Structure formats: C-alpha cells, structure tokens
C-alpha cells in the first residue's frame, strides 16, 4: 500500500489498463495467506526487514508444520520456528521434507528449541553475544541461532559475570570494537551496566530467568537492566534471545 504502487495502480485505472473493479480487488488483496487458524504474512520481510518467525507455544504440531510450509513455499528467505517442542519440530521437519525443503536446523535452547530453514546469505556486522554465566547459555543459543539464520556470525563470550571482573576485562577490546553487543544475564543483571560502560556500540540487554535467591524468574534482572546507570542500554523481554537477535538485525546496515 506504498505510494508508488498506489500511483501505478491508479494510473493503470486512468489509462484503462485496469478496470475499477480490478483496482478495488487489488487494493484489498493483502499480502498474506489465510490458513483459517493463521494469517501467514508474506511481506513481513519487506516491511520489517526480517521473515515472520513462528512462535511455537499454543500451536499444535500440525499448525506449526502448515505455517512453516506455507512460508517456505511462497517466500524465499529464512523461516524460523521458535520455542518449539520435539513434537512440533518433528511434524514440521516431516512436512518440510515431504515438500523438498529439507528438515531444517535445530538448536537446543533448554526446554525448547529453535528450528530454522533456508538461512540467509552471510551478512557482515561484528556482533558480540556475552553471557554472565554458563546457565544463561540456552538464551544465548536462541539468540545466536536466530542471528545465524539471518546471515550473521556472532562471537559468543560465555561466563563473564561481574563477580569475577577480570574475566570480563580481558575481553574489553572485543567489546570496544563490536558493532552491536547482546548482553545476556540473570540474577542481578549487572553485566549490562558494566558492558554498557565499556563500549560505544549499541547494547541490547536480555534478562534471563536464571538465578539463586531472589531473582524472581528474571524480574530482578529485567528491572535492573531497565535502570542501568550506563546510558543508552536497551532491553527486551525475559529470556527473549529471539527478540534481541531481531533488534540487532534492525540496527545493523
């Protein structure tokens, strides 16, 4: 519904190349496919710069499979299924395979996994994904697997929590040269503030639900990251490695 195609369409009507009825039909024909239970968005890539990802929870394996196949059949870019169960990935792999799209890549993200098909061509962009602890790795994996599907090759720095500051300080140069940094931390989420103070790059913080004591399933880290004393740190939802990857994809050229 952008001005250029609107003008083209209107000119076609003006020239008789298109009847008024056809014009109305075209103007109302929207770039999605209605599967009944889902409206598959074929132009998200154009509009948002990234393909539609299928969010697994609450969908039946059959619904996952049908949406993924629809996206594979119609488009050309990467297709993602996130937070998927084993039943969902199995059904999807079978359906995709049956249509000649292969059975996809699966990355385990703890209790669920990320499945991807048809990764994008390699893109430049120095991305660092850094975690406070080993327990944050499942969220980091969701983030790096989505970044990988989008064509990026992020560097993963695991277990750099601030209680052992030297583990982080040794990576200062890596952080200073990054074009984008994703900080993944649970507990008190202090790593976001410290990293935010060490790099001029955009920093996307992901609170995780990891933690001892009073971390309240990630709420503590979430609030801490939102209150960071390092200016310009931004935050996505708890355990949302997928969202952080998308945020990075938006800000890199």
Query: Which residues fall within 8 angstroms of residue 229, CB to CB, at 6 or more apart?
Result: 193
From 18-26, 71-79, 84-92, 121-129, give the range in contact with a copy of itself by CB under 8 A: 18-26
Q: How many CB atoms lie within 10 A of CB 171?
A: 17
Using CB under 8 A, which of 106, 126, 167, 174 touches a copy of itself?
167
Paired with 105 in beta bridges are: 116
Which 3 state secondary structure label does DSSP give 73?
A: helix
| 238 lies in the binding site for a copy of itself (CB under 8 A) | yes
d(Cα 202, Cα 252) in Å, to the nearest integer?
10
Size of the site for a copy of itself (CB under 8 A): 117
Give whichever of 96 and 160 is closer to a copy of itself, judged by the CB atom: 160
d(Cα 125, Cα 178) in Å, to the nearest integer?
8
d(Cα 159, Cα 130) in Å, to the nearest integer?
8
Tokens of 217: 């399933």
Considering the complex, what minimum distance in angstroms separates the CB of residue 116 from a copy of itself?
A: 14
Name the residue among 63, 110, 105 with its Cα closest to residue 87. Answer: 63
Binding flags for a copy of itself, 127-166, as an x/- string (CB under 8 A): -----xxxxxxx-------------------xxxxxxxxx
Give whichever of 100 and 231 is closer to a copy of itself, judged by the CB atom: 231
Using CB under 8 A, which of 76, 94, 122, 172 touches a copy of itself?
172
Please give the residues from 20 up to 49 whose contact with a copy of itself meets the rule CB under 8 A.
Answer: 20, 23-24, 27-28, 30-32, 36-39, 41, 43-44, 47-49
Considering the complex, what minimum distance in angstroms separates the CB of residue 148 from a copy of itself?
A: 16
d(Cα 237, Cα 143) in Å, to the nearest integer?
13
Paired with 106 in beta bridges are: 115
Give whichever of 89 and 228 is closer to a copy of itself, judged by the CB atom: 228
Strand locations in 132-172, DSSP E? 155-157
Using CB under 8 A, which of 19, 74, 97, 153 touches a copy of itself?
19
Output the furthest CA–CA distance in the chain (Å, rounded): 73
Considering the complex, what minimum distance in angstroms separates the CB of residue 23 from a copy of itself?
A: 5
Binding flags for a copy of itself, 87-126, as an x/- string (CB under 8 A): -----------------------x----------------
């Amino acid at each position: 519904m952008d001005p250029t195609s609107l003008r083209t369409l209107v000119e076609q009507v003006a020239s008789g190349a298109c009847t008024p009825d056809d014009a109305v039909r075209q103007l109302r024909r929207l770039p999605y496919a209605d599967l009944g239970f889902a409206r598959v968005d074929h132009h998200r890539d154009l509009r948002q710069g990234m393909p539609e990802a299928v969010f697994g929870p609450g969908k039946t394996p059959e619904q996952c499979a049908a949406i993924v196949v629809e996206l594979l059949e119609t488009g050309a870019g990467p297709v993602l299924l996130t937070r998927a169960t084993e039943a969902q990935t199995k059904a999807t792999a079978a359906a995709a395979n049956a249509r000649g799209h292969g059975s996809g890549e699966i990355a385990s993200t703890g209790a669920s996994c990320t499945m991807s098909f048809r990764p994008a061509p390699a893109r430049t962009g120095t991305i660092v994904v850094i975690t406070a602890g080993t327990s944050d790795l499942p969220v980091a994996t969701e983030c790096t697997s989505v970044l990988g599907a989008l064509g990026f090759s992020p560097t993963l720095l695991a277990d750099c929590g601030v209680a052992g500051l030297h583990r982080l300080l040794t990576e200062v140069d890596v952080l200073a040269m990054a074009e984008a940094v994703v900080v993944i931390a649970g507990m008190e989420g202090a790593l976001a503030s410290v990293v935010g103070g060490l790099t001029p790059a955009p920093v996307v913080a992901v609170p995780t639900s990891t933690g001892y004591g009073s971390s309240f399933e990630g709420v503590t880290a979430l609030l801490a990251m939102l209150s960071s004393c390092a200016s310009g740190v931004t935050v996505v939802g708890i355990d949302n490695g997928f969202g952080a990857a998308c945020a990075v994809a938006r800000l890199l050229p």
